Amino acid sequence: MYAIVAVGNKQLKVAENEEFLLEIPVKAKQKILILDQVLLIVKDKKAQMGNPYLKGAKVNCEVIARVQGVKKIAFKFRRRKSSECKKGSRQHLVKVRVKEIVIKSA
């Protein structure tokens, strides 16, 4: 059983007991995250598709940790001007584990 969920401007394929990283802001004390923008659920080779989202479907997740991503560097160099600018940033990420995928029975 797996689901395709819209998170921010991305779509993720998630399954139960799977861990993944999200780029969304989460409050410091928040331990549970509910993703309710479910686009598709596949269970036993039967698919349920939303228009655009499935009503009553949600993915319950638990927040494991808050981490930082890989450092990305922007380097600007101007030849013969002895001018260079180096900037770096790290994305704040949230590590999440899927606890269950809930489907509202029709």
Please report the pLDDT score of residue 57 as a whole number: 95
Full 3-state SS string of the chain: CEEEEEECCEEEEEECCCEEEECCCCCCCCCEEEECCEEEEEECCEEEECCCCCCCCEEEEEEEEEEECCCEEEEEEECCCCEEEEEEECCEEEEEEEEEEECCCC
Q: What percent of the chain has pLDDT over 70?
A: 98
Please report the pLDDT score of residue 48 as a whole number: 92
Please report the pLDDT score of residue 105 as a whole number: 63
Q: What is the residue extent of each domain of the chain? A: 2-102
Confidence of residue 22 (pLDDT cuts 50, 70, 90): very high
Handedness of CA 59, 15, 95, 62 (dihedral sign): positive
Please report the pLDDT score of residue 104 as a whole number: 83
